[in-house]
Amino acid sequence: MEPRVYTRDQHPISRAAISENALKVLYRLRDAGFRSCLVGGGVRDLLLGREPKDFDVATDAHPDDVRRLFRNCRLIGRRFRLAHVTFGREIIEVATFRAPFGAEDEEGNIELSDEGRILRDNCYGTIEQDAWRRDFTINALYYDIADYSVLDFTNGVLDLHEGVLRLIGDEPEQRLREDPVRMLRAVRFSAKLGLRVAPELDQAMHRHAGLMVSVAPARLFDEVIKLFHSGAAVTCLDELERFGLFEALFPQASTCFADPGRGLEQRAFLVEALKSTDARIRDELGVHPAFLYAAVLWAPVQREAQARLAADEDPVAAWQQAMSVVLERQVQRVSIPKRYSLVVREIWDLQQRLPRNQGGRALKLLTHPRFRAGYDFLCLRARVGDADPDLCQWWTDFQQTDEARQQEMARGAPGGAPATRTRPRRRRRKAPSAS
C-alpha cells in the first residue's frame, strides 16, 4: 500500500508546534536507525490548527529497544505493550507498529474473546500494516521526522477536510466488536471536532451499543472522563443517549431520566453541570472527576434516598445507605476509584448539611475541604429548581462578607441561634434532697 504523501510545503505542521520532548524522542529513535513518526491525534490536531493535548510516537523499534534508548522509560500494558518516556509531568507514548490480525510473529501474542474483542495483541508489523490497524481514518496520519512529510494511508486528510468521522475498513461492525470503546471514541471525536459520523458507522453503533457492557469497568472510567472533559460534554451526552450508550454506562441515571415525573428536571440538572464543566475547560480552570460523577449519579441517589425515607428509615441512615447502594451498583459498569468516590460522597453529604446554616454550623462548614464543590453543586441545583435559590444566594453572600457580618447572618438564618454558641448548653444538676 502506497500512502498519499504530503510534503513539507503541502501541509501546515511546524516543528515549533510540537512538544520539545516529543521531538527528542523522534530524533533519538531516528538517529538509532529506527523509523519514527508522530501519529494519531497529535497529527490530526496540528492539521486542524489546534493545540494537541498530547503527542504519541509510532516506530518500528520494539518496546525493549525503546527502553534501552531511554533511561526515563517504562513499559506498560498487557493487551498491547507500550513504552512511556517520561519528562517531568509530560509522558510521550511510544508504540511499535502493529501487524494485522492473524499475522504470525515470533511471539504469536494475539488473543481474542469469544465475541471477537481483542484481549492481547503484541504482534508487530510495518507502518503500512499499522495504519490499517488504527480505528478512524483521521487518526491514521503519520508525521515522518525523516523528511517532515505527512503520510496518509486511509484518506484521513480528505475526511478531515470533508468533516466526516469514518472507521477504517469495510466492516465497521467487526471493528466495534474488536474494541467496543471505539464507540465512545467516535462520540468524543465527533462532538469535540464537529465531525458527522459516517452513515455506516452510525448504523453499526446503534446496533452494537450493548457490547459496551463487556468492557472492563476500570477502562471505562478513563474513557468517560475523556468524554465529559472534552470541552463538548453536553453534545457528548446527547450523542451517548442517541446511540443507547448512556444507558449502557449509567443504567441508574438513564432510568431516572426516563421517568415521566421528574425525569426531565433531573436530566436538566446534569446538563447544567456539564455546561459548567465545558465553561471551566474553555477558561482553563480545573475540573474534578468526582464532581462529574456526583452530578451524573445525583438523580439515582435522590431516588434511592426517597424510597428509604418513605419506608420510615432514619433520615441520616437513609442518605448514607442510598449513597453506598448507588455507588456499588455503578462500579459494576464504570469503575470509580475510591479516592474519587469518597469525594463524591462528601459532595452529596454537603447537600444535606448546607441547609443547616444556623449558628456556628455555617462558619464550620466554610472550613470543610469540599465546601466549594458542595456549594457549586448546590447552586447548580438551584438553577434548575432542585434547590432553594435563596439558600444559594445566602451562602454566596456569606462567603463575601466579613466575620462580624457572618455572625449576624448566622444568627438570622432560618432556625438561627446565637452564632457564638456551637454546643448545646448543659443542664445543671439539681442538688440531692436532704431527705
Which residue ranges form the domains of the chain, and what is each CATH number? 1-162 (3.30.460.10), 163-249 (1.10.3090.10)
Q: Indicate the average pLDDT of the chain.
A: 89
Tell me what pLDDT residue 410 has: 82
319 neighbors 349 (Cβ within 8 angstroms):
yes
What are the tens digits of pLDDT across the range 394-414? 999 999 988 888 888 888 765
Q: Is the pLDDT at 426 greater than 70, yes or no?
A: no
Measure the CA–CA gap between 300 and 255, rounded to whole angstroms: 8
Measure the CA–CA gap between 346 and 329, rounded to whole angstroms: 18
Please list the alpha-helical segments (H only) found in 32-168.
41-47, 63-69, 127-133, 156-162
Q: Is the pLDDT at 247 greater than 90, yes or no?
A: yes
- Position 18 confidence tier, pLDDT thresholds 50, 70, 90: very high
Per DSSP, the three-state class of 382 is helix
Q: Is the pLDDT at 297 greater than 60, yes or no?
A: yes
Mean pLDDT, residues 244-258 taken together? 97
140 neighbors 153 (Cβ within 8 angstroms):
yes
Tell me what pLDDT residue 123 has: 81
- Position 50 confidence tier, pLDDT thresholds 50, 70, 90: very high
Tell me what pLDDT residue 414 has: 59
What are the tens digits of pLDDT across the range 75-121? 988 767 899 999 999 999 999 999 876 554 444 455 555 555 554 55
Give the catalytic positions in this structure.
Answer: 54, 56, 135
Beta bridge partner(s), residue 5: 151
Measure the CA–CA gap between 180 and 175, rounded to whole angstroms: 8
**Cα first-last separation, the chain:** 109
- pTM, two decimals, is 0.84
